[in-house]
């Protein structure tokens, strides 16, 4: 969370965009075989 405090010193109350990615592996019937999220959980709290 220290990273957010560091950023806030520079951007104030402007929104901070935190990139992430999602991988979905589907079979031939479009069923999800594997899902992997690689991002911060939505609704991150700031101290």
pLDDT for 4-26, tens place per residue? 788 889 999 888 877 777 788 99
Q: pLDDT value at position 29?
A: 95
- Give Cβ neighbours of residue 23 (< 8 Å, ≥ 6 apart): 34, 35, 36, 38
Cα(11)–Cα(14) distance, integer angstroms:
6
Length of the chain equals 47
Cα(15)–Cα(20) distance, integer angstroms:
16
What's the pTM value of the predicted model, to 2 decimals? 0.39
């Amino acid at each position: 969370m220290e990273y957010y405090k560091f950023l806030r010193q520079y951007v104030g109350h402007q929104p901070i965009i935190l990139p992430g990615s999602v991988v979905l592996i589907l079979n031939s019937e479009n069923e999800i075989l594997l899902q992997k999220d690689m991002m911060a959980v939505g609704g991150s709290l700031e101290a």
